Structure 1
Amino acid sequence: MFTGIVMGIGRVLTVTPLADGVHIAVDSRALELEDVRLGDSIAHSGVCLTVVARQGTVLEYDISGETLACSVGLNEPGRELNLEKALRLGDALGGHLVTGHVDGIGTVERFAPVGGSTLLEIRAPVAIAPFLARKGSVAVDGVSLTVNAVRDEPDGSCTFAINLIPHTLAVTTLKNLSPGARVNLEVDPLARYCARVLEYAGRNPAS
């Protein structure tokens, strides 16, 4: 479990093909690594990965083909990734609860300065459009953000808007975005559970 508060920015150093997926090495010197052990979970731009090896400040991971199919950025040498270690009991919950399980891939529609901030508009796929709501939470490449507006599109997808303050841009990879870029999206887990309850109640009205 994570909070969507980025602790540092890493960089993919190497990508080695596996039978089903890849093995990657990530320069993680931006993290405090004293307490990192094999088997620990670390989020990489919103994707929870398990540490399988360590060489100094370089952490290594095995990534399945399924994970690669539903996320972006993990198998690109040189790619910067937002890093966050798993939440521990007693840690501050500065963002919102994030599982590290990507729900879908969004496409940046607009990335432009507005006043002293930056407006980010993202087109979300049909499958997760119902879970995005004004003033709700969403994780974009692992960053906990607040949705300012949602516009439903004719094809069932939606476009949602976010206001990025300068600090967020300075400490995350979001500053590298531009129209056409693809990003990892994870909706608020509470929205998923609410949708499931309503779906179940609709199918079983006597329950």
Structure 2
Amino acid sequence: MPAGSYAGTKAPRHGEYSKNTYSYTDEQTIAARRPQRRRPGGHGEKRKAYMFTGIIGALGTVESITPIEGSDAAYLTLNAGDIVADLEHGGSLAVNGVCLTAIDLDQLQPGQFRAYAMGETLRRTNLGNLNPGDTVNLERCLPAGGRLDGHVVQGHVDAVGTLASVTAHEAWSTLRFNLPTELAPLLAEKGSIAVSGVSLTVTAVSAPGETPAWFEVGLIPETLKATNLGALKVGDSVNLETDALAKYVQRLTAFAGVPQADSAHSGEQVAPRRADAASVLDSVQTAVDAIAAGRAVVVVDDEDRENEGDIIFAAEHATPELMGFMIRYTSGVVCAPLSNKRADEMKLPPMVTNNEDPKGTAYTVSCDAASGVSTGISAADRARTVQILADASSTPADITRPGHIFPLRAVDGGVAERPGHTEAAVELSLAAGLSGVGVIAEVVHDDGSMMRFDALRAFATEHNLPMISIEDLIKYVAKA
């Protein structure tokens, strides 16, 4: 469909169900189909896979976002209008492009919709930034035999983008959005993208390596009126879902040259093929952008050194979820690289007088946060500790010694002097404009054996993490 076009001849009013897109039933049928209580199985019931088209069926209004005590999740309640009239418990509704599951129908008034949004959803999308009264795009999933007008939209948002500019033309508008660097390869001119659930045609894209990465779409007045895109201001966030086919092609490409015998789960030791490394590594700038955005990256060193890969993220961006992810997929020995200056400021002396570590890893005494923790070992406690190490206002009194976090002193010359993960973490943090304090741990197989290059590449791809080498980081720092 042309960029910015909209299904049907009449745009739905706020909360109105688009009759041009979905079947419409009379009130008796709707009442008969509306369940009065939960179906057996509840949230644990196995659900079918649904798809959307990016053709917005109605606009809704946020009524409330209620945090769930003791968790990072929340309940989202909307005034959705007629579009949810026949939506059953467990049914799907796309809200700003996010596929959500209907719950609590027996507690709601007609036209209301409620969903449970877990922490991952709130972090990866802009739903966590919604406020009561905000307008959201709504779409029901495509019924069997329905017409596919837009493009295949899964309701699985990849990331949040930002409106960079609006250029008004005589009869249409060009909107430019900035997006995370790692998504840029998935967009192509005249390809499809879902922006806050709206199926649009990409009219222009940034050049490879251009920072920040961006794309443009052209919108007609009807789309601006019938969706919430018309109310966007420069700097506002939008949910982005790239074309599903592009993501599968990217993943297949990541496995190019990887021998079938090498498994990210088997623990089998297969020699890495460094001759092909450049073709399967991500750019250092992609990793820097991820670190700046509060995400983790995988960093591999040379095969004649440790021949290992570490998960790395910035200490100030540590969360219980991010720390839990690190603990789950690594040895569990979580270290916090920092400069000698910062270690001295926090009164973290070397662990031993005579360092006998073969690689010269400079451990300091271990530590925990002095407040806001329990035993110090939980993911939340360890996240709290590294946050304190990164906070410039922290003092030695804010930590206790020993503890469950192992600070590491990076050499003053960085990766150019010592090509280790300790120095890599500090360099990445500084390149991202952050504190220079990182968090690292070695990635392992389920059986505890170390992951090597090919398995690390598969792991990074599976979890959507940029993967770079220290060798490339050295070159990046030298050019900076």
Identify the TM-score tier after normalising by the shorter chain: over 0.9
1:198 alignment partner AA? T
Structure 2 residue matching 1:152: 3-state secondary structure: coil
- The match for 1:4 is 54
TM-score, normalising length: structure 2: 0.41
Whole-Å separation in 1 of the counterparts to 2:82 and 2:165 = 29
Which of 26, 39, 44 does residue 90 from structure 2 map onto?
Answer: 39
* CA deviation after TM superposition for structure 1 residue 202, in Å: 3.8
- The match for 2:157 is 102
Larger radius of gyration: 2
Which sits farther off after the overlay, 182-191 or 19-28?
19-28
Whole-Å separation in 2 of the counterparts to 1:122 and 1:153 = 16
Whole-Å separation in 1 of the counterparts to 2:242 and 2:147 = 20
- The match for 2:117 is 63
Whole-Å separation in 1 of the counterparts to 2:82 and 2:171 = 27
* CA deviation after TM superposition for structure 1 residue 30, in Å: 4.9
- The match for 2:131 is 76
* CA deviation after TM superposition for structure 1 residue 170, in Å: 1.3
Q: Pairwise CA RMSD of aligned residues? A: 1.8
Gaps of 5+ in 2: 1-50, 261-480
2:159 alignment partner AA? G
Higher relative contact order (CA 8 A, sep 6+): 1
Matched, 1:16 2:66: yes
Q: Check whether the contact 2:96–2:136 (CA below 8 A) recurs between aligned residues.
A: yes
Which of 36, 46, 52 does residue 103 from structure 2 map onto?
Answer: 52
Which of 225, 230, 233 does residue 175 from structure 1 map onto?
Answer: 230
Whole-Å separation in 1 of the counterparts to 2:58 and 2:195 = 15
Whole-Å separation in 2 of the counterparts to 1:44 and 1:79 = 12
Q: Check whether the contact 2:85–2:111 (CA below 8 A) recurs between aligned residues.
A: no
What do residues 73-122 of structure 1 show as CA deviations (whole Å, max 9, x unaligned)? 35422111100011121111100000101101111111131120011000
Structure 1 residue matching 2:60: 3-state secondary structure: strand
Bigger strand share: 1
- The match for 2:282 is none
TM-score, normalising length: structure 1: 0.93
* CA deviation after TM superposition for structure 1 residue 128, in Å: 0.8
Matched, 1:166 2:221: yes
What do residues 132-177 of structure 1 show as CA deviations (whole Å, max 9, x unaligned)? 1101000000000000010137565421110001111111000011
1:100 alignment partner AA? G
Whole-Å separation in 2 of the counterparts to 1:7 and 1:27 = 14
Which of 146, 151, 155 does residue 91 from structure 1 map onto?
Answer: 146
Q: Check whether the contact 1:37–1:51 (CA below 8 A) recurs between aligned residues.
A: yes
- The match for 2:253 is 198
Gaps of 5+ in 1: none
